[in-house]
Amino acid sequence: MARQARAWQRMLSGRRLDLLDPTPVDIEIEDIAHGLAFVARWNGQTRGDFPYSVAEHSLLVEALFSRMTPTAGAVEKLTALLHDAPEYVIGDMISPVKAAVGPHYSVLDKRLAAAIHIRFGLPAQVPARLKARIKKADRISAYMEATQIAGFSLSEAQKIFGRPDPALTDGLEIHLRPPIEARAAFTKRHADLLEALQ
């Protein structure tokens, strides 16, 4: 009888996270922040001395979402910050690779996202309207990243991501910094939003 492949990962916190059946009790923000700070966006194909991490991207998306939705509460902002949190264990795949892999990546992503949300007191499933607003912030972030650090021309980025309202991006810059700094910034923002939930 064939032995079943291992489907769990040991986290630095000591937790053992089952990727096929994740439970909220095995999720720690320190693991998420560490993982996201070391996962490169754009498959690492960005300018600069440090990779642009998913942690940095998540901070930017939350900042853009907050600008787009000034009345948003801590629950919505925390949901925006954690929108790519599953990538701390399954990595960041560029859209063309996700399309080639098919629905399996999406299934893992959804299971992990639900467990992460429950762990931090959020609804397991993100309401469609909120998901759409976060996705819009995500596309604006992608446009900024594409044009500032990933080598896209303005016209190419506009065709793929659309042209954002300059008022939403004014004063926001892409940060390239060591992973430990990105990890600390992500952890702090998470803590601030959790405190605001109290």
Domain assignment of residue 65, yes or no: yes
DSSP labels for 57-87?
HHHHHHHHHHHH-TT--HHHHHHHHTTTTTH
143-156 pLDDT, tens digit each: 999 999 999 999 99
Q: Which residues contact 32 (CB under 8 A, 6 or more apart)?
A: 82, 85, 88, 116, 186
Mean pLDDT, the chain, as a whole number?
Answer: 93
Domain assignment of residue 12, yes or no: no
Domain assignment of residue 54, yes or no: yes
Q: Which of 23, 27, 12 is nearest to 190 (CA)?
A: 27
Supply the CATH number for residue 186's domain: 1.10.3210.10
pLDDT for position 3: 65
Q: Which of 38, 51, 50 is nearest to 11 (CA)?
A: 38
Handedness of CA 92, 189, 165, 70 (dihedral sign): positive
Does the model's pTM come out above 0.75?
yes
Number of domains in the chain: 1
pLDDT at 120 over 80: yes
Q: Which residues contact 100 (CB under 8 A, 6 or more apart)?
A: none
Domain assignment of residue 6, yes or no: no
The rounded distance, in Å, linking the Cα atoms of 27 and 99 is 28
Domain assignment of residue 16, yes or no: no
Domain assignment of residue 11, yes or no: no
155-164 pLDDT, tens digit each: 999 999 999 9
Handedness of CA 75, 27, 195, 190 (dihedral sign): negative
73-107 pLDDT, tens digit each: 999 999 999 999 999 998 887 777 777 777 777 88
Residue 9 bridge partners (DSSP): 17
Range of the domain at 177: 24-196
Domain assignment of residue 109, yes or no: yes
Quickly state the pLDDT bin for 1 (edges 50, 70, 90).
low
pLDDT at 192 over 90: yes
Domain assignment of residue 13, yes or no: no
